[in-house]
Amino acid sequence: MKKTLLFAGLFATLGASAQLGFNPHIDFVNETDTVYVPSSLIKKQVLFIGGTHMVQTTDTYGNPAGAFPAKQWHDFIGFTPDNTSNDLGWLSVNHEMVLADDNIGDGGGMTVFKIKRDPVTDSLMVVSQTLADGRTGEYFNVDFANTVGETGMNCGGIQSSADGRIWTAEEWFRYGTSDIYANGAGVRDTADFTITGSGIAVADGQTVAKYENFNYMVEIDPKTASAVRKQYNWGRQPFEGGAILPDNKTVILGADNTPGMLTKFVADVAGDFTVGKTYFYKEDAPTKWIELDNSDFNKLLHFQDEAIALGATMFNRLEWISYNPKDGNVYITETGRDNPAGSWNDEYADGGIFAKHHIARANMQYATGPDDSDYRDYYGRVLKLDMTNSDISVHIEGGPDFASNVDPTDYPSTHLSNPDGLGFITIGEKTYMLICEDLNGTSNGRMPMGTSNKTCELFMLDMDINSPSLNDLIRIAEVPTGAEITGVRGLPDGKTILFNCQHPSSSNPFPYNNSCTIALTGFDKGFLSAPKVDYDANELKMYPNPAINVVHLNKTTDVGVYDMNGNLIQVLRNTNKINVSSLSSGTYIIQTAEKETKTLIVE
Amino acid sequence: MVGVSIQATIMIKTSILFVFLTVLQLVNANTKPSVFLKQDLIKNYALLVEEVNQLQRATLVEKIDWEALTQVFFDSRNAYKNVELLVAFLDPEFINDYINGAPLLKIERKTDDMTILNPKGFQIAEEVLFEKNLPEFKLLVEQLQARIIEFGNRLPSLYLSERIVFEAMRTQVIRITALGITGFDSPSGFNSLVENNITLKNLEKTASAYYGFLNENEQVKLKTIFKQGHSFFEVKEMDAFNRYQFIKQFLNPIYGIILQVQKELFIETKTMVVKSGYAVNYETENIFDTDFFNADYFANYANSGIEEKKIALGKTLFYDPIISKNNKRACASCHHPEKGFTDGLKTSVAFNEIGHIDRNSPTLINAIFSTRFFWDNRAGSPEAQAEHVIFNPKELNTNYNEILGKLNSNSTYKKLFQEAYPEIKEINRQTTLSSLSAFIQSLKSFNSVFDQSIKGKIPVPKDVEAGFNLFTGKAACATCHFIPTFSGLVPPLYVETESEVLGVPAYNDINKAILDQDLGRYGNGRPKEKADFYKNSFKTATIRNIELTAPYMHNGVFNTLEEVVEFYNIGGGHGWGIAPENTTLPSDELNLNATEIKQLIIFMQSLTDTTGMTAVPTTLPTYKDDLLKDRKIGGVY
């Protein structure tokens, strides 16, 4: 039987070869069945380009103030509203690096600038300013070197939910002075550091090894482009994210480490963060939070060791922390690490306790526990800290995470892996979570199989969905090859989402070969009008969603896109949407595997 | 790669696998080949799982029979090779991390602390097996088993397209060429012939899934060339395998034919689907094509300006000493075109002729095909490389204020920049670097006697063929100097440039053997590379044009190719008794005789090709300024 069929198959195809794809050229016929894609509602602007825009510096290391190319590796973006003028406010951008610089200052750093909105077009404009110290320009370097001491690897940070005050996080935990010196390429002044003027009683007057003056949350004032204090009383930890609640007293802080711990600080007086109590999270304790004596400077310097000894809950690389104004809870990204066992087993032995969701995951994987070398945590997740009872639960789990065989039809078309930056935006009545990916790798479905390049994406998630799944994620941006998407920030007017494209690599066109701060504006203009797709229709139907540059199809099929000359320019397989962002304005023919055609006009 | 000496010869039993290695045909002409191939993959993957389960059980028996255990181990390897084509293409990172990565320590990706990972998978297990280290072997096999099962669980959810199958086939051809037949992934080299035979059969099986869609001529063409490929496996052992002819007669042609078939079947190519850049230019039909790589991929500022004008401008800048503080040194000062863009010195002369810089001047020809630059792998792009030299007080000792000031004061330069960058127009950091980089990107050499012969354009000199077979075989050079760049750019994706620890001596005198104290990559200033295993580690340089680029090694310690080959022949630093603990070169002697050494060198000399690259500009833009008016083309020193 088989042989007969085979023979028939061969016989039928003698002569010309059969085809398994789209003809590279067709005669272009303008179909009457036409779909219009209006020009995108979302406008893109590049606000700040590393290595290109000049920042105004102060007198540093004996070098006079001047204008020098900004550092790269943009990460956190903080927004501080200006309530005294028509300008929107100040943006503070982190530079997640450690690099010697005679003018900007060694280590990492921060750049601040002020923005306003064009009343007609809604686009953002950088405002020229003259600061109190006499510096004039658009972009200003935050002076750390002459004030609180250099910073390093300024990664995440805090934008206070109360008033927009800004802290930058020094991630990159350092264990010795040679670590920060880096053969003269990092921080060159390695003399012991005497802390003065922090206003924190336990710290002022202390002299520490230079490396011990790194790894704090550091407050800055974006209005004067100056540093305020390193927050010694919150402990010395590899901080990444943090949130200050509207009470202007409660601070939630996360450390990017395996194990990473959660810290809380409660100020005695609203707005004064120099005096208060410091706690670490202990899931199995009745009150969940255990105080760590912040009048003992030594304990603050060795915060993790102290907390682990007292049974702190251990997470796997906590990244950003963000306060959701809609439900009053705090959300935390936990990015994961492929094989964490080797990294947290010592701390486990010292008394640390694995977060319960890790124990549950390990059970699912038939590992003896999170300390088992077989325990895997490839994708990470977003956690929810319920502020009413301090319970932590998983809000959305990264994936595609399958412990066992999965039916292809159940395979999610959207993958979320290694969530990092986190924020919220309220558009009209709706609040959305904003999630930045920072892929730890390409394996295990973090990229589609057969794709070896990394592409990081920015997702929105409707917070009205109670138990969201990966298919609820709305992809709104992806960054060029090699780049990580960082620092997402929704502006309070619901119009603009800001993010950084960090360390893009090779062969991207300017300016995307530098770290850039990008603004997407127009989310208030009908973003919510998601199409109602008629999946029951037999014939092909297409639904443009200009906000996210996508045309939805009413079925999953193969699609060939032809230009006006009838030349095949794009092929999509097994898809139910076409991303038109790479198509320039013009007329195209869309052909499906079933040979249905439609004309597509991109405005 | 680390070598393992074989003590015993063990017969590998014929596995039940071979039953499944016959050429398969479609059972139904309406089934898409990719659908059928997916079913076939799942079936064969189940056999791999079965073999690995057996292997794991074999480690648990009370009294270990090492001979039997070795057989069971290679049965598993063979089962892996039978699914490698698709599996290694679909998730290269996973395979590299857990299944078949090099048996070397690695630094964990994307973490803030520096965590060093032990190697996992078949290759390290093979080493440990030959060391008869049972506890370690048991653990490695257990981990391997867990990962193989884990990956298998994801296969049913896989969406396989025809395009992916074709890309996987072509990637597998590169893998066989540059890794398979050179013995890269079998540390003992012991099962190599069997494994390569399996990969070839698997390639044919995959291709044959499309026969039903091809006309008779195409089918005959494919069947004929596969028959040609199989004929090479009639030898008894890998040493007798003619790698040169196998590449010339089978691998290189089939690499092109598969692309032709893909286009014939209207299967879209990667170029149409994937927007982001790739190192390998999918549209070339030849592994030794000048455009086999996308030079753009390796550069930072490749997308602006007009190519030819940028190259011409970059060339002028390359030879103009205006780019140094004292206007006496040009890039060409240390990179003379007639010496393959090196300077013939152990280490180059420093600024103001005060002493020397730290390391030997490397060739710039094909230098672009690298993801890391400098001997210590410190820079990540040709543009960053140029900046290190511009700023270095011992080299050009200048800065952008000075360079841009001088360039901007000259109307000829202004005009050249405006013409090269009609959109940007400016003379700035980006356009200056982009021009220099464009010139470096133009220095591509794939037309040597060797290239021409393996592409079938000229007959191959006998010693070149013999030398190539030694290079890729007995002398084990090609396990680090990979085809086709013959450098440390790692196949099959070519997105990483390796460094190696050889134990290079400080002085060319084996009687006073001292290890060179240069820490290399360990001291390159990248915090994430300050790992002990990178001490004394240096970039694996290209062998192309080596005839012109003496003296050799990062410190120029060896004057002739004979000295270099002799160094390796006695086991490198091991033979000199100075190899540090983290040496990556195997300690084995190569046992090359005088004839073989001569053939190896003749092969290396056949890689010379500087055609069209050596012309020096006859003039430079003129200045009236006293300091600038007498600039010497190519610099004073």
Domain boundaries B296-442, CATH class: mainly alpha
Q: What percentage of residues in chain B have a pLDDT greater than 90? A: 85
**For residue A254, what are its two tokens?**
């996360």
A510 neighbors B429 (Cβ within 8 angstroms): no
Nearest to A560 by CA among B267, B159, B214: B267
Which of A2, A23, A183 lies nearest to residue B27, judging by beta carbons? A2
Among left, alpha and beta (phi > 0; psi -120 to 50; other), residue B254 is: alpha
Q: What is the pLDDT of residues B100-110, one digit of tens each?
A: 999 999 999 88
User: In chain B, which residues have their Cβ closer than 8 Å to the Cβ of A509?
Assistant: 303-304
Which of the four pLDDT bands, split at 50, 70 and 90, describes residue B88? very high
CB contact under 8 Å between B266 and A408, yes or no, is no
Residues from chain B contacting residue A406 (CB–CB below 8 Å): 153-154, 156-157
Q: How far apart are alpha carbons A133 and A224 in whole angstroms?
A: 8
Q: Are A9 and B29 in contact (CB under 8 A)?
A: yes
CA distance B210 to B25: 8
d(CA A177, CA B26): 66
Closest Cα of chain A to B212: distance in Å? 5
Interface of B with A in 485-524 (CB under 8 A): 493, 495, 523
Is the CB of residue B577 less than 8 Å away from at least one CB of chain A? Answer: no
Q: Residue B300: closest CA among chain A residues belongs to which residue?
A: A506
pLDDT of amino acid A11: 38
pLDDT score recorded for residue A31: 65
The residue type found at B291 is D
Pick the CATH number of A22-40+540-602 from 3.40.50, 3.30.390, 2.30.30, 2.60.40: 2.60.40
B29 and A9: CB-CB below 8 Å? yes
Query: What is the CATH number that goes with domain B449-605?
Result: 1.10.760.10
CB contact under 8 Å between B110 and A440, yes or no, is: yes
Q: What is the pLDDT of residue A17?
A: 67
Report the mean per-residue pLDDT for chain B: 92
Predicted pLDDT of residue A444: 87
Phi, psi angles (nearest 5°) of residue B232: -70, -20
Q: Which two tokens stand for residue B576?
A: 């000199």
Cβ neighbours of A410 in B, within 8 Å: 157
In order of B177, B478, B479, B553, B598, the CA distances from B483 in angstroms are 7, 7, 9, 20, 21
* Closest residue in A to B112 (Cα–Cα): A172
**Up-side HSE of residue B391: CA atoms within 13 Å toward CB?**
8
Report the gap between the CA of B38 and the closest CA in chain A (Å). Answer: 12
Counted across chains A and B, CB pairs separated by less than 8 A come out at 205
A22·B213 Cβ contact <8 A: no
Calculate how close chain B gets to A349, using CA atoms only, in Å. Answer: 19
Among partner residues B110, B215, B303, which is closest to A15 by beta-carbon distance? Answer: B215
Inspect the interface and report whether the beta carbons of B167 and A450 lie closer than 8 Å: yes
End-to-end CA distance of chain B: 40
ipTM for the complex? 0.85
Is A533 buried (19+), middle (13-18) or exposed (0-12) by CB count in 10 A? middle
E strand or H helix that includes residue A266: strand A262-269
- Supply B145's token pair: 């088993």
Contacts of A547 (CB under 8 A, 6+ apart): A40, A41, A42, A522, A523, A525, A526, A527, A529
Per cent of chain B over pLDDT 70 is 95
Cross-chain residue pair B92–A452, CB shorter than 8 Å: yes
Rounded CA-CA distance B427/B524 in Å is 30
Could you tell me the maximum CA-CA distance found in chain A, to the nearest angstrom?
92
Q: Nearest CA to CA, how far is B292 from chain A (Å)?
A: 17
Q: Which of A131, A219, A129, A228 is nearest to A169 (CA)?
A: A219
- Across the interface, whether the CB atoms of B301 and A510 are under 8 A apart is answered yes
| Amino acid identity for residue A502 in this structure | Q
Mutate to test the interface with A, among B26, B114, B213, B276 (most CBs of A within 10 A): B276
Mutation target for B interface from A406, A452, A557: give the one with most B CBs within 10 A.
A452
Tokens standing for A147? 């004030």
| Cα distance between residue A55 and residue B548, in whole Å | 47
Do A74 and A502 meet the contact criterion of CB atoms below 8 Å apart? yes
CB-based burial, B511-525: b 16+ in 10 Å, e otherwise: eeeebbebebbbbbe
Distance from CA of B53 to the nearest CA of A (A): 17
Identify all chain A residues contacting B272, using CB atoms and an 8 Å cutoff.
568-571
Q: Using a CB-CB distance cutoff of 8 angstroms, which residues of chain B are in contact with residue A183? A: 523, 525
Closest Cβ opposite residue B273 in set A153, A406, A571:
A571
Q: What is the largest CA-CA distance in chain B?
A: 89
Residue type, A128: S
A20/B267 Cα distance (integer angstroms)? 6
Tell me how close the Cα of A481 comes to any Cα of chain B, in angstroms: 6
Q: 């079925």: which residue's tokens?
A: A555
| CATH T-level assignment (fold) for domain A43-521 | Neuraminidase (2.120.10)
**B9, pLDDT greater than 90:** no
Judge: A444–B94 Cβ closer than 8 Å, yes or no: yes
Looking at residue A9, its pLDDT comes to 39
Chain B residues inside the 8 Å CB shell of A52: 430
B25 CB within 8 Å of a chain A CB = yes
Q: Mean of the pLDDT values across residues B133-162?
A: 93
Residue B11's pLDDT band, with cuts at 50, 70 and 90, is very low
Q: Give the span between the Cα atoms of B417 and B309, in whole angstroms.
A: 9
d(CA B554, CA B362) in angstroms, rounded, equals: 8
| B523–A183 CB contact, under 8 Å | yes
Indicate yes or no: CB of A18 within 8 angstroms of CB of B168. no
Partner-chain residue, chosen from A16, A186, A452, that has the shortest CB–CB distance to B493: A452
What does the domain layout of chain B look like in residue ranges? 16-275, 296-442, 449-605
Sign of the CA dihedral running B377, B382, B386, B391: negative
**Which residue in the block uniquely carries the two structure tokens 């936990």?**
A334
| Predicted local confidence at residue B253, as pLDDT | 98
Contacts of residue B158 in chain A, CB cutoff 8 Å? Answer: 408, 449
Best CA proximity match to B313, nearest among B302, B301, B305 = B305
Q: Do A441 and B218 touch (CB under 8 A)?
A: no
pLDDT digits (tens, 9 = 90+) for A199-218: 999 999 999 999 999 999 99
How many other C-beta atoms lie within 10 A of the C-beta of residue A229?
A: 23
User: Which residues of chain A, if any, have pLDDT below 50?
Assistant: 1-14, 506
pLDDT at A4: 36
Alpha carbon B583 to its chain's center: 19
- Coil, strand, or helix at residue A356? helix
The residues spanned by each domain of chain A are: 22-40+540-602, 43-521
Residues 145-204 (B) with a CB less than 8 A from some CB of A: 146, 150, 153-154, 156-159, 161-164, 167-168
Q: Shortest CA distance to A481 belongs to which of A497, A498, A503?
A: A503
**B16-275 has which fold?**
A middle domain of Talin 1 (1.20.1420)
Interface test with B, best of A239, A316, A442, A506 (most B CBs within 10 A): A506
Of B275, B301, B525, the CB nearest to A183: B525
User: What mean pLDDT comes out for the span B305-328?
Assistant: 97
| Tokens at A556, concatenated | 């999953």
Q: Which are the contacts of A492, defined by CB distance < 8 A and separation ≥ 6?
A: A79, A81, A426
* pTM (two decimals): 0.90
Q: Do B157 and A407 touch (CB under 8 A)?
A: yes
- Interval B507-526: pLDDT, tens: 999 999 999 999 999 999 88
Structural tokens at position B538: 């240096």
B296 and A CB contact within 8 Å: yes
Give the chain B residue nearest A567 (alpha carbons). B272
Residue A543 CB-density burial (10 A; 0-12 exposed, 13-18 middle, 19+ buried)? middle
Q: For chain A, how big is the Rg over CA atoms in Å?
A: 26
Judge whether A259 and A355 are in contact, CB under 8 Å: no
Q: How far apart are CA B12 and CA B238, in angstroms?
A: 14
**Beta-carbon contacts of residue A174 (< 8 Å; ≥ 6 apart):** A152, A180, A211, A214, A215
Question: Are B109 and A441 inside 8 Å of each other by CB?
Answer: yes
Partner-chain contact A6 B26, CB within 8 Å: yes
Amino acid B314 reads: G
Do the chains contact at B527 and A15, CB–CB below 8 Å? no
More confident residue, B438 or A504: B438
Nearest CB among B92, B115, B303 relative to A342 is that of B115
Nearest CA in chain A to B218: A17
Q: B343-373, pLDDT tens digit by residue?
A: 999 999 999 999 999 999 999 999 999 999 9
What is the tens place of the pLDDT at every residue in B574-597? 999 999 999 999 999 999 999 999
Q: How far is CA A52 from the centre of its chain?
A: 23
Cβ–Cβ under 8 Å, residues A478 and A430: no
Domains B296-442 and B449-605 share a fold: yes
